Amino acid sequence: MPRLSFALTTLAFLVIGLLAFGAGWKRGQPEPPPGVPAVKEDRLERLTQRVDRLAQRLDEEIARNVALEERLASALEERTVEPDRESSPPAHRVANPTRATLPGGGFDPEPLIAAGFFERDVEAYAEILDDVELRRLDLRDRAAREGWMHTPRYANESKELSAELLVAREEYGEEFSDWALFASGQPNRLRIDDVISGSPAAAAGLQPGDTLVRYADSRIQALADLHELTITGRAGESTPIEVLRDGTVLRLTIPRGPLGVRVKPIHLEPPPLR
């Protein structure tokens, strides 16, 4: 917004200056003798037309700026409205699968309990989610009120809250993390949409439609996981990779480094607990 306002102000001053220059220049010019081509008048006419076009562009930019500010204000108002929690069950009740604890989704504890995780662990994790959600709502409210919603400060504090959830899932192990993402309605797998010709993935036999499961014996749940795993270790070393193809897990070998694939995050039920 500050850049757009600065641009509009600069354009406005330019239009005003051209108008003033055109008017002053015209007053200072003598009338051409009879029969002499009105060359200067033609130049003035072209200058006037240019000023008119600039003024029209200025009006259009102002109108777009006003419309953009109205949409932004409306969006901020919607994002800072806290959901009604009076009818929600207490945070310590784990059996209710409708608790909304993650932005854009809800946490359903039943899949984790049915999968075999201890109810006390699921309950403790659910309470962490509730605490992070409340602090995220408070962060949005403060940022909107104080005018730093779209700033590095807001982005950094939001990332810190997301990091807390990641740490909480990792403390319970990769299987719990996998099921927690699934129970929250979030992507927990990467599906290969395309394999680049001549890439290590093509040489290893990976195909479009394969779902990445493990790389170097570590579970892949997000693009960040895959990136971190491919840049660790020694480049080019033989590395095991597991993919799910037509319901069967295949174990292949690939040189450590970029795979050469295009992937898409998907939501997939994890395998049973080992």
Q: Residues 147-166: pLDDT tens digits?
A: 999 999 999 999 999 888 88
Helix intervals (H) in 147-260: 152-171, 174-183, 200-204, 223-231
Angle, CA 102 vertex, CA 101 and CA 105 arms, to 5°: 105
pLDDT of residue 273: 85
Q: How far apart are CA 44 and CA 168, in angstroms?
A: 71
Distance between CA atoms of 206 and 110, rounded to whole angstroms? 34
High-pLDDT (> 70) share of the chain, %: 62
Instruction: Name the DSSP letter for residue 181.
Output: H
In this prediction, residues 63-71 reach a mean pLDDT of 51
| Sequence-ordered list of residues with C-beta below 8 angstroms from that of 231, at least 6 positions apart, any chain | 257
Handedness of CA 215, 217, 222, 223 (dihedral sign): negative
Query: Whole-model pTM above 0.85?
Result: no
Per-residue pLDDT tens over the stretch 205-256:
999 999 999 999 999 998 888 998 999 889 999 999 999 999 999 999 999 9
| 80 and 103 Cβ atoms separated by less than 8 Å | no
Q: How many CB atoms lie within 10 A of CB 250?
A: 15
CATH class, domain 189-266, is: mainly beta
Alpha-carbon distance of 138 to 161, in angstroms, equals 12
**pLDDT exceeds 80 at position 57:** no
Instruction: Flag whether pLDDT at 105 surpasses 60.
Output: no
Instruction: Answer yes or no: are the C-beta atoms of 262 and 199 closer than 8 Å.
Output: no
Concatenate the DSSP letters of all residues of 67-106 into one string: HHHHHHHHHHHHHTPPP--TTSPPTT--S-TT---BTTB-
Residue 65 has pLDDT above 70, yes or no: no
Closest by alpha carbon to 9, among 70, 69, 58, 47? 58
Residue 4's H or E segment, with its range, is helix 2-27
